[in-house]
Chains A and B, each alone.
Chain A
Amino acid sequence: MSATTTVTPVVQGVNLVKTFGRVVALDGADLELYPGEVLAVVGDNGAGKSSLIKCFSGAHIPDSGEMLINGKKVEFKSTSEARRHGVETVFQTLAVAPALDIASNLYLGREERKPGVMGAVFRTLDKKRMRADSAQHLKDLGISTLQNITQAVETLSGGQRQAVAVARAVAFGSQVIILDEPTAALGVNESARVLKMIQDLRDRGLSVILISHNMPQVFEVADRIHVARLGKRAGVVTPKSHSMNDVVAIMTGAMKVTAEEQQLTPVN
């Protein structure tokens, strides 16, 4: 089981450093995400989880260190560049425009244009196609509560908005999906639906990074748990090798992860 496999990580971060003025958010952080796994990233407030994933989503540019996608070095200067490499993010704020409708939000920043001169020169939108495709994407995700694709996002409930943000990430058939606290604002039923969806994504062969404070949820869906502490990686464990209390202890520094306990390779 623990034989060293030579699987290339889909997403890899090596010695990432990110500072904001005098605040050191990332202090040489590493991360590996393997194909078809759910990697949970946990840590106390200020441990650098959000900064870490924001580097991979293109929202932050690391000061130093390397990022690799499928073993190739990349540099993301914007979220669009990350998206082009197949890394989609559902931000904690959801990053949806409330006054725009569902279809417009799904395609925001990468609209489908009409064929020919109108699309190429005048950037005319192909609204019909975007609406039809959006409806299909939502249906594929099993989100049946959203019936009208031309409804403004601000008229939706919190869970429905979340669904729009997730649908946007999933719709583009990308290889990596990063979810930042996807259940923080949701009720019990809605949370369960999101967790189910995370498992579905993994079953479809996508790799998922899940940032969460909610230990039971992390233990329910994660294959491996990356524990961030003080801008570094304190260790990577699995739900089988460690208990929730252990993980909290690692988060706070009360417990160290030994080299043989580390799970730096994918679990089968």
Chain B
Amino acid sequence: MSTATTSNLTEEFHERRTPLQRLQGVLHKYPYLSPLIVLVVAVVIFYLLNDRFLLPQNISFVTQQTVVVGTLAIAQTLIILTAGIDLSIGAATTLAQMAMANLAVYTTASNVLPIAGQNPYVAIFIGILVGVLTGVINGFLIVRLSLPPFIVTLGTLSVFTALTLILFKARTIQKPEMPEVMQWLGNTFQIGEFQLLYGVVMMLILYAIFGYILKNTAWGLHVYAVGDDPNAAELSGISTKRVIFSVYVVAGLIVGIAAWLTIGRVGSASPNPDPLLNLDTITAVVIGGTSLFGGRGTILGTLIGALIITVVQNGLSLAGLDQAYRVLAIGILVIIAVATDQWIRKVKA
């Protein structure tokens, strides 16, 4: 008999469960365990390949590389939990970031936005509002017009990209032009031998906040319920439309914050979005154990997922391997993650 007196399981459970089924049950209960195992294994392998991997400088570097994808992946997690998806997240970030930078740098005369620039705080605030607005637009189209999130955000991906180029004339704003506050999240501070970005702290605070919200508030519970079974949620008295709309707006807020963070991290503001940003956020969420079908997953898993992406990238280059292997490894991880999710969902009493 099993020695573990797991008092939380019914007696029926103990009778006929193979070790594999027990594993399935554990992974079902703690969905962030599988990505955690992957992360630990990856760290060990890369350390064995090159022991510089675990040096404080390199670890600091990994956290810095994770910060943008990691922050946006919070927004992507919320959306995917409702069984949606946001393909416009990279384009929206670029739009918000360009609005922010242009407002801070150019005066009214040369600025498309009819607000006097030069006050970086106002610029940051309005830039974040632009992020929120992108969320409002996505949410409105999805909820009011009942369009599928995939199609809506595929459309707004192009719309936001075009708007950025039209409004801000494809001008990259360089670091020396940018006021200091704009870059504040890109500054580092020292803890022992570790160089951490203020942006990393910001990201971790956001993870803590949304981890708490998802687990402990009615809104968080409703986000899960809506993604899990929208009909059941509606019949239980949850306004599914309101929940979904609010999720896109909150995601927009995170996009706005990520825009500020990107300026700090990159140093400049370029109107051309990182083409991998969209897919990297989705990859982080999926590798992190959140189901693309909605209703299950954790914010902690997403953080681990985002770390896995950077660790694989960084470890492979330290090991002297081509970046093509990174793409290969990430691709395989995504497929394994989705397959694991499908398997875990089949857990039965």
Which positions in A face B, CB cutoff 8 Å? 59, 78-80, 83, 89, 91, 93-100, 104, 108-111, 113, 122-125, 127, 145-148, 150-152, 154-157, 160
A174 to nearest B CB, angstroms? 13
- With a CB–CB cut-off of 8 A, which chain A residues contact B232? 93-97, 108
Can you name 16 A-B pairs with beta carbons within 8 Å?
A78-B239, A93-B232, A94-B232, A97-B224, A97-B233, A100-B228, A108-B232, A113-B218, A122-B213, A123-B218, A124-B217, A148-B8, A151-B8, A154-B347, A154-B348, A155-B348
B233 in contact with A152 (CB, 8 Å) = no
Which positions in B face A, CB cutoff 8 Å? 8-10, 12, 25, 28-29, 213, 216-219, 221-222, 224-225, 228-229, 231-239, 295-296, 345, 347-349
B237 in contact with A147 (CB, 8 Å) = no
B225 in contact with A124 (CB, 8 Å) = no
A50 to nearest B CB, angstroms? 13
Main secondary structure on chain A at its contact with chain B? Answer: loop
A125 in contact with B228 (CB, 8 Å) = no
Given contacts A148-B10, A154-B347, contact A108 B228 (CB under 8 A): no
B349 in contact with A160 (CB, 8 Å) = yes
B231 in contact with A108 (CB, 8 Å) = no
A93 in contact with B231 (CB, 8 Å) = yes
A98 in contact with B229 (CB, 8 Å) = yes
- With a CB–CB cut-off of 8 A, which chain B residues contact A122? 213, 217
- With a CB–CB cut-off of 8 A, which chain A residues contact B236? 79, 95, 97, 108-109
- A133 to B126, alpha carbons, bound, how many Å? 46
A186 to nearest B CB, angstroms? 15
B238 in contact with A109 (CB, 8 Å) = yes
A99 in contact with B228 (CB, 8 Å) = yes
B224 in contact with A95 (CB, 8 Å) = no
Selected from B9, B28, B349, the residue in CB contact (under 8 A) with A156 is B349
- With a CB–CB cut-off of 8 A, which chain A residues contact B296? 99
- With a CB–CB cut-off of 8 A, which chain A residues contact B224? 97, 99-100
B293 to nearest A CB, angstroms? 10
A10 to nearest B CB, angstroms? 21
A123-B218, A155-B25 known, 4 other contacts, Cβ within 8 Å: A95-B229, A97-B229, A111-B221, A152-B28
Closest A residue by C-beta to B13: A155
Selected from B28, B213, B216, B225, the residue in CB contact (under 8 A) with A97 is B225
- With a CB–CB cut-off of 8 A, which chain A residues contact B29? 152
B119 to nearest A CB, angstroms? 31
- With a CB–CB cut-off of 8 A, which chain B residues contact A83? 237
Top 6 closest A-B pairs, CB basis? A109-B237, A80-B237, A95-B235, A109-B236, A123-B218, A108-B236
- A145 to B217, alpha carbons, bound, how many Å? 29
- With a CB–CB cut-off of 8 A, which chain B residues contact A151? 8, 10
B31 to nearest A CB, angstroms? 10
Of listed B29, B235, B239, residue having the most chain A CB within 10 A: B235
A110 in contact with B237 (CB, 8 Å) = yes
A111 in contact with B228 (CB, 8 Å) = no
B225 in contact with A125 (CB, 8 Å) = no
Closest A residue by C-beta to B239: A78
- A148 to B8, alpha carbons, bound, how many Å? 5
A108 in contact with B8 (CB, 8 Å) = no
